[in-house]
């Protein structure tokens, strides 16, 4: 069986990708120190796949520890999810973000070189487009003006991969720019585990609906959109996970060095209020909310042009916003907290 190192494999997108890898006959080897996850994700993975996940609990900036993992596991490829991702925290503590997000990728690339591993799939974000010079954004839209230190770490990591690829004639790099990943596995065994008060919309919606939060604040209803709230491209995490498998399989088929970037979104923009109302309708639950001021750093609208992912990877989303909201609610209920 082919084996891939999955850094951050106990995280939200990483854990769902482990499920899809196994389903495709690729063994995930998780590298994750669980700083932003919990044991229950590993238990959930076992329930879904029937296999105990292989995990090495190390920090990806620890070169020695990473070297040992590569020597022991002899992987064929790497998918790199491990990163800090809280936009607000990155503004307060930017060095944590530059150290962890950039340091881990640099360490990983050096370790891969040492062990002759050539294939890497990297978790990037639509945040690299900043405001976006056109909508929907295509992969060749202008990048580089991110809205936060977190966003800049993605810009720098993408550049690091391009530079590494230019210097190493054999490297195969796929960078996946995620739009807004939401939802959970339909089994409700794995899902998102926000720490403390959620920053992201959907975990806040589910916690408000469950009575764990007083009410959701919708950040602004005076934007130039159809109902005044911001527009995002919300993508079901299982659809997103499947794209990683296709990316690895595509790299293997090319049999040539490459460095490519793909948007992973639905291609549909939805407003915050549409997201809230879809949640209410599909689950028959009310979400208490108020309208508040705009959140600094938010872009008005962002959604993906997905033509390249369809044409090259043969990937398209199969799940709707309603599916995502149903699965997010099932997960919140399974969490029971």
Residue 99 or 219 with smaller CB distance to ligand UD1 = 219
Record the tokens describing residue 168, joined without a space.
């190493």
From 216, 243, 325, 328, residue interacting with ligand UD1 (rule: CB under 6 A): 216
| Exposed/middle/buried for residue 298 (C-beta within 10 Å: 0-12, 13-18, 19+) | middle
To the nearest whole angstrom, how small is the minimum distance from the Cβ of residue 166 to ligand UD1? 26
- String of contacts with ligand UD1 for each residue 262-281, x by CB under 6 A: ----------x---------
To the nearest whole angstrom, how small is the minimum distance from the Cβ of residue 197 to ligand UD1? 9
Residue 111 or 127 with smaller CB distance to ligand UD1 = 127
Query: Binders of ligand UD1 among 47-76, rule CB under 6 A?
Result: none
Q: Which SS3 state, helix, strand or coil, does residue 123 take? A: strand
- For residue 165, state whether it binds ligand UD1 (rule: CB under 6 A): no
To the nearest whole angstrom, how small is the minimum distance from the Cβ of residue 165 to ligand UD1? 23
Distance CA 72, CA 251 (A): 24
DSSP at 304 = B
**Stretch touching ligand UD1 by CB under 6 A, among 73-81, 163-171, 291-299, 312-320:** 291-299
In the chain the beta strands, taken as DSSP E runs, fall at 2-7, 26-31, 54-56, 77-80, 119-125, 172-178, 180-182, 216-219, 231-232, 234-236, 258-264, 270-271, 289-292
Residue 240 or 272 with smaller CB distance to ligand UD1 = 272
Distance CA 37, CA 85 (A): 13
Residue 113 or 147 with smaller CB distance to ligand UD1 = 147
**Do strands 2-7 and 26-31 pair parallel, antiparallel, or not at all (unpaired)?**
parallel
Q: Cβ neighbours of residue 244 under 8 Å, at least 6 residues apart?
A: 17, 20, 21, 79, 121, 176
Q: Which of 97, 129, 150, 178 is catalytic?
A: 150
Map tokens 């010079």 to a residue: 133
Whether 150 is catalytic is yes
Q: Are 199 and 146 in contact (CB under 8 A)?
A: no
**Stretch touching ligand UD1 by CB under 6 A, among 67-75, 156-164, 200-208, 237-245:** 200-208
Distance CA 8, CA 14 (A): 6
- For residue 98, state whether it binds ligand UD1 (rule: CB under 6 A): no
To the nearest whole angstrom, how small is the minimum distance from the Cβ of residue 134 to ligand UD1? 17
Residue 14 or 151 with smaller CB distance to ligand UD1 = 151
Of 215, 196, 235, 217, the C-alpha closest to 13 is 235
Residue 108 or 218 with smaller CB distance to ligand UD1 = 218
Record the tokens describing residue 199, joined without a space.
């920053």
- For residue 87, state whether it binds ligand UD1 (rule: CB under 6 A): yes
Residue 148 or 283 with smaller CB distance to ligand UD1 = 148
**Stretch touching ligand UD1 by CB under 6 A, among 111-119, 193-201, 258-266, 327-335:** 193-201
- For residue 180, state whether it binds ligand UD1 (rule: CB under 6 A): yes
To the nearest whole angstrom, how small is the minimum distance from the Cβ of residue 110 to ligand UD1? 26
From 67, 217, 221, 333, residue interacting with ligand UD1 (rule: CB under 6 A): 217
DSSP at 294 = P
| Exposed/middle/buried for residue 171 (C-beta within 10 Å: 0-12, 13-18, 19+) | buried
Distance CA 304, CA 302 (A): 7
Record the tokens describing residue 9, joined without a space.
């494999």
Binding region for ligand UD1 (CB under 6 A): 85, 87, 125, 127, 147-148, 151, 180, 199-201, 204, 216-219, 230, 232, 272, 295, 298-299
Residues annotated as catalytic are: 150
């Amino acid at each position: 069986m082919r084996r891939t190192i999955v850094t951050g494999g106990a995280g939200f997108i990483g854990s769902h990708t482990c499920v899809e890898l196994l389903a495709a006959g690729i063994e995930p080897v998780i590298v994750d120190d669980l700083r932003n996850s919990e044991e229950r994700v590993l238990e959930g993975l076992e329930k879904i796949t029937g296999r105990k996940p292989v995990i090495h609990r190390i920090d990806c900036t620890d070169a020695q520890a990473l070297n040992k993992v590569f020597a022991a596991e002899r992987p064929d490829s790497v998918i790199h999810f491990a990163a800090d991702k809280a936009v607000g925290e990155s503004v307060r503590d930017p060095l944590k973000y530059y150290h962890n997000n950039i340091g881990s990728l640099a360490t990983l690339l050096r370790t891969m070189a040492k062990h002759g591993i050539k294939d890497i799939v990297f978790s990037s974000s639509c945040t690299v487009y900043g405001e976006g010079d056109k909508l929907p954004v295509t992969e060749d839209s202008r990048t580089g003006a991110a809205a936060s230190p977190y966003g800049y770490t993605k810009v720098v990591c993408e550049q690091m991969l391009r530079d590494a690829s230019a210097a190493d004639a054999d490297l195969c790099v796929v960078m996946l720019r995620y739009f807004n990943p939401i939802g959970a596995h339909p089994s409700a065994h794995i899902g998102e585990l926000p720490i403390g008060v959620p920053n992201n919309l959907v975990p806040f919606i589910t916690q408000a609906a469950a009575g764990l939060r007083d009410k959701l604040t919708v950040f602004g209803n005076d934007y130039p959109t159809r109902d005044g709230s911001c527009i995002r491209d919300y993508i079901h995490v299982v659809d997103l996970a499947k794209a990683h498998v296709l990316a690895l399989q595509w790299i293997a088929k090319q049999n040539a060095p490459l460095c490519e970037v793909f948007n992973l979104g639905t291609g549909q923009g939805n407003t915050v209020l549409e997201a809230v109302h879809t949640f209410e309708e599909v689950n028959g639950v009310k979400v208490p909310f108020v309208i508040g001021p705009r959140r600094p750093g938010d872009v008005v609208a962002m959604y993906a042009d997905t033509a390249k992912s369809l044409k090259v990877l043969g990937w398209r989303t199969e799940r709707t916003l309603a599916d995502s909201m149903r699965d997010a609610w099932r997960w919140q209920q399974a969490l029971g907290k």
